[in-house]
Amino acid sequence: MMLGAVALFTSCTSEEQETLSPENGSEQKGQFVLNLNSNADFSVQTRALNENAYSNTDNFTVQIINSSSQVVMECKGSELSTYLPKELSIGSYEVKAFYGTESKASRNDFRVEGSNTFTIQAEQQTSVDVACAPTCGKLYVNFDPSMATYCSDYNVTYGGTEALGAETIAWAKADSEPWYVALTPNGETINYTINLTVKDSYAFTDGNGQKQTQAQYTGSFQLQRNHAHKLTVKPSYTPSTEGGLEIQITIDDTTNDHEVTFTVPVSWI
């Protein structure tokens, strides 16, 4: 969902920019106009949070920062339409807009942000565009119902991002809500491990005649900010010690309508 908001405003809470090149005893100024929008759409809604709130620019905080790193204006997006163009002293500025909380990984919140730089010139109006987007990607898992036929327990762990470091996050067999994972601007490689506890009747017998019930498969995929990946896991079974359990893995990029499916033998532990 794309929600645009065009805002013409003066100061919500402000301090005047430092005086630059006074002319005839008065400070030279220009006007500022903001075009603010947010592209936060992971396609699938969840019960844990309302993703539409992250596309509604009324919820955002907007700041104008001068070249001395001072916040010269700050207000909510909902206030912007009540103001005329903002008058600023000539000079260089940055405008930022943001909403939500940045976390390594969360099921309850994520952050949307955007920024741009601009220069105010004397007696001129400057129009600035700020496009906001999530700083995270979205991960969720679909375990096929037949998993319960072959396995007594199963889960997926994710890791490998810069923010997570050595930590991992887990999707248990009963989970239904996604993870929002912080990513660097160019996206990152997500590592995943599928862990299975196989029922005795479907266990693999090794060369020593011992039954093996613990199995896993590891893989990875690329994830970009503002994209969602669904990992679908479906088991299959060949009743022989050479075949054993296999799993079918589908990686579905819901924002690009791209799907990859492959079947792999699991590794027995």
Closest CA to 227 of 10, 35, 42, 30: 42
Q: Do 259 and 147 share a domain, yes or no?
A: yes
Is residue 159 within 8 Å of residue 191, measured between CB atoms? yes
Q: What is the pLDDT of residues 190-229, one digit of tens each?
A: 999 999 998 888 888 777 878 888 888 899 999 999 888 8
Q: What is the pLDDT of residues 161-184, one digit of tens each?
A: 999 999 999 999 999 899 999 999
Copy the structure tokens of residue 59. 């919820």
Q: Residue 29 and residue 22: Cα distance in Å, rounded? A: 10
Q: Do 172 and 114 share a domain, yes or no?
A: no
pTM: 0.80
Q: Do 256 and 170 share a domain, yes or no?
A: yes
Q: Do 157 and 89 share a domain, yes or no?
A: no
Cα-based distances in Å from 227 to 17, 193, 241 = 39, 20, 40
Q: Do 92 and 181 share a domain, yes or no?
A: no
Average pLDDT value over all residues in the chain:
82
pLDDT at 243 exceeding the cut of 90: no
Q: What is the pLDDT of residues 136-148, one digit of tens each?
A: 999 989 999 999 9
Q: Do 122 and 151 share a domain, yes or no?
A: no
Q: Do 195 and 99 share a domain, yes or no?
A: no
| H helical segments located in 114-250 | 147-150
Most distant CA atoms of the chain, gap in Å: 97
Q: Which of 89, 116, 134 is the last residue of a domain?
A: 134
Give the angle subtended at the CA of 219 by the CAs of 142 and 157, to the nearest 5°.
55
Closest CA to 179 of 164, 162, 194: 164
Question: Which CATH number belongs to the domain containing residue 68 in this structure?
Answer: 2.60.40
Domain count, the chain: 2
Q: Do 103 and 199 share a domain, yes or no?
A: no
pLDDT at 43 exceeding the cut of 60: no
Q: Do 125 and 225 share a domain, yes or no?
A: no
Q: Do 74 and 86 share a domain, yes or no?
A: yes
pLDDT at 155: 96
Cite the beta strand spans of 40-124 per DSSP E.
Answer: 61-66, 71-76, 86-89, 91-100, 105-106, 111-120
Q: Which of 134, 166, 201 is the last residue of a domain?
A: 134
Domain that holds residue 110: 2-134
Beta bridge partners of 216: 195, 267
pLDDT at 84 exceeding the cut of 70: no
Q: Which of 88, 115, 134 is the last residue of a domain?
A: 134
Give the angle subtended at the CA of 16 by the CAs of 12 and 18, to the nearest 5°.
155
Beta bridge partners of 2: 39
Q: Do 130 and 9 share a domain, yes or no?
A: yes
Within a 13 Å sphere around the CA of 116, how many CA atoms are in the beta-carbon half?
16
pLDDT at 258: 41
Q: Do 13 and 82 share a domain, yes or no?
A: yes
Q: Residue 201 and residue 214: Cα distance in Å, rounded? A: 13
